[in-house]
Structure 1
Amino acid sequence: MLIEQFVTGPRELDLISIFGMPGLGKTTLAKKLYDHEAISNRFDIRLWGCTSQAYDKRALLYKLLGHTSEEKSNDELAEKLYRSLKGKRYLIVVDDLWSHEAWDDIKRPFPDDDKGSRIILTTRLESVATYAMISSSPHHLRSFTKEESWMLLKEKVFREGDCPQELEGIGKQIATKCEGLPFTVVLVAGLLAKHDQKEVIYWEEVAESLISEMKDYMNIVESSYQDLPIHLQKCFLYFASFLEDQKVPVKKLIRLWIAENFVEASTTSKSLELIAMDYLMDLISRNLVMVAKTNSLGEVKAVHIHDLIHEFSRMKAKSGNFLLRIHNQL
């Protein structure tokens, strides 16, 4: 339905807003639209910017322009963006918008030249989605059904294998308690999948410890965090030093982990780089870290973390003075 709005919609500039509670997959849906072949081939320019609750116009303009720094005022940067878009058919994603005022500030550099340009806006707030509407009505991203939640849990835990019959009952209970949120489902799946014991008693223990926490995202992330070995906890918390929504090159991340002495030397001849890569793949398999980019061979080249997990990592790092201790060692 959304693809149809991009391909056959009006020639005037239009905005497709996706709203819903945290953890529903708004950014994931926006990314699928952004990368869809029928859509990407239609536009001359595609740009992606993340705003978040702490709105920073300058940071957003830098992101959209592809610059990290430039000695220009905000008005000059906005004018530069306007000129780069003028006369072209463009697609822009404004991810995680929080206020009417932020939208009024952001929208000025986006020209309407009757080229069929489109803006995708994601927000947690229906009022913001409605306020920013141009022609198309806001899209309310629904929760998963119980069956969809169970299908996702099975896929994440067992990959291509089948779920043992004795686990199906407790598995469906866990999936149901995830309140239809894909974010919650994949976190719980990551916790279940990292343990060899696919036994009813273990799943019941996990269910008992998690069910009371399902309505608090941070408690769910905390459970996954506490399940990490100490060396992986340090590697995970290091993501707090990066910006929200930042795609981190794997080579850079590994070098930083090694420089911080997070990577423990092996008794075998395995290099620190390979050990660090094992650490990263472990975090990915637990669904705490997401793959942002791969090469043609399927090798992971860049990673990022969900905004809710980033928020958790920042709070945990701050409460334990984690980043302060690291910076003092430099």
Structure 2
Amino acid sequence: MLIGSLAVILLAWSLGWLAFWRVPFLPRKVVQKRTECTISVVIPTRNEEYNLPRLLSSLKQQRLQPKEIIVSDDDSEDATVAIARQFNAMVVVKPMDERAVGKAAGCWRGAKAATGEVLLFLDADTYLERADSLEHLVHAYQKQGQTGILSVQPYHQVAAAYEQFSAVFNILVLAGMNAFTLFKSYFKPAGAFGPCLFCSKAEYMMVGGHEKAQEDIMEDFVLGNSFQKKGLPIVLYAGKGAVHFCMYPEGMRQLVEGWTKNFAIASRSTHPLVLFCIICWISGGTISGGFLAAALFVGSVQWLIGAAVMYVLYFLQCYLFAKRVGSFSLWALLIYPFLFVFFILLFSWSFFKTHFFRTVTWKGRNIKL
């Protein structure tokens, strides 16, 4: 029984490597001769007075300056619009007679107002980590032939203790995209990352942009699929050292609402083989904690050694995975089974909310699916 239990956990641990094999970061080398392109930054906002100053400040510090910064506001009830104007950003407000609300509608309004050749969509809670981050985004886009979508999942800069609960979610955001697995050459990306998305305005308009995604909570996946249907590539990167974000600064309730909003729906786009590896990995991580607790209770030296070895292996793996996606602390990852349990509970709640209630809550709104 001991050998069988260890074998099952070891297999689950191994499948974790298959699901999250390699994570490419934005290339750091900038070519000396680059094709100049005009960039319009589009930031969809709703009640972002806390986050927006950091993002706008980081954009002002870039060596390569965008042509324009557009804040597309969705009826903010705080100082978001005033802050945008303080930074001399162009503000696009939702017309009073327009029914479309949400991020996709905001992106679409901002994109239509843009005059740059290239669009850079950034969530308000993101920021550019270095003064050359925009240069690296442009270089990476040129490297892929200046076509399709370049999308970056920002590095989670953890600021508060409760944010440690986001560790597993951040890992699986990348793993679930099919592009970071050992088998990535056989799968197409599940979609694009919503927080940071780079594309030409001409191609964006050609595929219909965010207009066709206004009724969908997974607007980044819908847009990505629109590009793929036209034969245009999607190239995905992790954002460490270039694009960061501070997620859910308003507290635990916002964190729960944020991850509940779309995580269960997003899993539909993950390839079944990758999804199988992820499910096994999560199960193994949860079981390894229970196995160690059982070994301590039984008091068998053999059981205790075996359980401890597997626990350490899982911890080291979780630590490596988590450091790819965020500044998660050692102490939080040492108790990784609790992070897995939290993920399972919240994913179950997300599935229940999106499949049975058909509604989620975000930014003070109840969103019907």
Q: Would you say same fold, with TM above 0.5? A: no
> Which of the pair has the greater relative contact order for Cα pairs under 8 Å at 6+ separation?
2
TM-score between both structures, scaled by the size of structure 2 = 0.26
